[in-house]
Every structure is written in C-alpha cells, then in structure tokens.
Amino acid sequence: MHTFFADGMVKIHLPWVAEPFLALLHRSLFLFFAGLAISLFNINQSVFRTVIWWIGIFSTLYGWITVMPIFLHDSPYYAPLSSLSWSIHNFMPYTLFSLLAYIISGRFGSPQTWERFLNLSKRYGDRMADGVWKAAEETALEQSSEIVFGTLNWTIGALSEDDTLENFFEAIPGLLI
C-alpha cells in the first residue's frame, strides 16, 4: 500500500508542489531564531549566549541533513534545500569543465583532453538536471539484488510463527517447497 500511494504522489508531482512550502516554513523558522538572537542580545547576554549555542548546534545539524544526500545517496534524511545544494554541488564542476573544454578547444591541449573535459561537463550537467532523486535511484539499481535479499531476510525474520511463515511461502507464485 505504501508503494501504491507513493507512486500516486509521484504521478501528480506532489513533492514539487509541497517542497517550496516546506522551504518557506524552514526559512521563517531561521528568521525567527535570528530575530530571537538579536532581541536577546539587547536584553540579556547570558541567555543570548545559551540560545546562540543551541541555535548553532541545530543549524549545524540542519546543514548536515541538507547536504547529506550529496554524499550518501541512500540517506533517508532530506531537507527542502537539499535540491538546491545538489544543484550548486554539480554546477561548480559543470562550469569548471565547460570552461576548461572551451579553453582547450582552441590551440591548447590535445583532442583527447578536450573530449575528456567535454564528457565531464556533460556528466555534471546531466547530474544537475536529473537531481538528487535520480542519483538515489541509480544507486539503488546498482545494489538491487542486495536490497531485495535484505528485504526478504527482514521479512522472514519478522514472521515469527510457523503458520505465518508457511502462508508467506505459499503466496509466492512458482515457489516449490
């Protein structure tokens, strides 16, 4: 049922509609904390330092959650600004390799070097356009047999009673016991 409803959400592009509202909510929260810090600075320095310390800890944690999908494609954590950080992360090498390919295309360098920079530029441009979800999907496809085995192992471990386990195996078409 979860997969059925998740596919329905993707078909109607719900994440594209909801993500800007979540980003606005997060921005308003950060603006609130900035206003709180400014207000406390003028009222009480000891409370200000304590609040700034906690704001710093949670801002660092939020920053890590935002950039985590860049480094860990199977990360279950995702912030509204993760897509923007993904785009920026891929835009910088895309620009660098595009510029290097343009410079090399003149009199400098070999055709192989030019082709390599052009391919790298295209690769980062495609990654930037596809987004963080496409990278997660590609990573999952590379590990699909491991994921399926892990899911089956977890399912069999969760079925503790013999009759439940027997019903599970009977429900699998073509399985001979």
Count of the separate structural domains present in the chain = 1
Could you give the angle at the alpha carbon of 52 between the alpha carbons of 59 and 86, nearest 5°?
Answer: 15
In a domain, 151, yes or no: no
pTM: 0.62
Does residue 148 belong to any structural domain of this protein? Answer: no
Q: What is the pLDDT of residues 131-154, one digit of tens each?
A: 777 777 777 777 777 777 887 788
Q: Which residue has the higher pLDDT, 18 or 69?
A: 69
pLDDT in tens, 90-104: 899 899 988 888 888
Alpha carbons 73 and 139: distance in angstroms, whole number: 7
CA–CA distance, 20 with 172 (Å, rounded to integer): 42
Structure tokens at 103: 């410079």
Residue 98 covered by a domain: yes
Residue 156 inside a domain? The answer is: no
Asked whether residue 117 is assigned to any structural domain, the reply reads yes
Whether 162 maps to a domain, the answer reads no
User: Domain limits at 84?
Assistant: 2-142
Give the pair of three-digit tokens for residue 46.
């000891």
Burial of 90 per CB tally in 10 Å (0-12, 13-18, 19+) = buried
Question: Residue 93 falls within a domain, yes or no?
Answer: yes
